[in-house]
Amino acid sequence: MKLFFGQIFPEILIDSDEQQHISKVLRMKAGEEIYVTDGNGNLAKGNLVFEGKKVSLEVIDIQKDLPDFSLKLHIAIAPTKNIDRIEFFVEKAVELGISEISLILTEKTERKNINIDKLRKQAISASKQSLRFHFPKVNEFTKFSDFIKNLDVENTFVAHCNEHLERTSLNNIQNFESYTFLIGPEGDFSDREIQLLAEKGIKAVSLGNQRLRTETAGIFVAAWNYDRMF
């Protein structure tokens, strides 16, 4: 399946960047069969049509409201100093079915600025690569204090490395339809932040005996959630 991003309703429009990729990079020909998804569970199948620089679709079939992953996972993660590592997390977490990503600014977060639009494009690219028709949401960079204000504490968990505080195993978490996990920066959450989360009733979890990098911890949780769906 050759899958591209675009608009399905009220009319089918292939994204402008995708049009350029089809014609300039892939050098596809008129009549070739492709699929277009809007990332909201809708999918169009058709043949390519070229009119000058414009690339459009001669529609064969449209499928609406295709099923999404059964479990919803929202990971709030502090961006790493090396941006390549957080980009790697986004790519792999999307492939593993994550539904929402938030970048959070904590006390120990070294990176203070991040290109959210670039991460959103990477999420779209990873969604197409893994044949996802529901694209994950990538939220704006948010202060930790603002992010924790409106959390549903029952299904929200924090993964931190403080061995002196009570933490439960991932295997002991009860089944929910949706989960939110907070992953700290290099150097972990501060003691004050961990205390704030505990006071709100957010439970702490251990990801095992090894100390994991920030992006590895995020991917680990995404893989854990993916495994629970099958």
What is the per-residue pLDDT across 172-194, written as a single tens digit (0 to 9) for each?
A: 999 999 999 999 999 999 999 99
pLDDT in the model for residue 112: 93
Instruction: Please answer whether residues 143 and 180 qualify as being in contact, where contact means their C-beta atoms are separated by less than 8 angstroms.
Output: no
Q: Within this chain, do residues 137 and 166 fall inside the same structural domain, yes or no?
A: yes
Q: Within this chain, do residues 168 and 212 fall inside the same structural domain, yes or no?
A: yes
Q: Within this chain, do residues 30 and 93 fall inside the same structural domain, yes or no?
A: no
Give the structural domain span for 155.
Answer: 72-228
Q: Which residues of the chain have pLDDT under 70?
A: none
Token pair of 166 as six digits: 């009570």
All residues at 6 or more sequence positions from 53 whose CB lies less than 8 Å from its CB, including other chains: 19, 23
pLDDT in the model for residue 8: 97
Q: Within this chain, do residues 220 and 114 fall inside the same structural domain, yes or no?
A: yes
Coil, strand or helix at 141: coil
Give the chain's domain count: 2
Q: Within this chain, do residues 85 and 150 fall inside the same structural domain, yes or no?
A: yes
User: pLDDT tens digit string along 66-111?
Assistant: 999 999 999 999 999 999 999 999 999 999 999 999 999 999 999 9
What's this model's pTM, rounded to 2 decimal places? 0.94
Which one, of 97, 98, 101, 107, lies nearest residue 77 by Cα?
101
pLDDT in the model for residue 161: 87
Q: Within this chain, do residues 90 and 170 fall inside the same structural domain, yes or no?
A: yes
Q: Within this chain, do residues 90 and 190 fall inside the same structural domain, yes or no?
A: yes
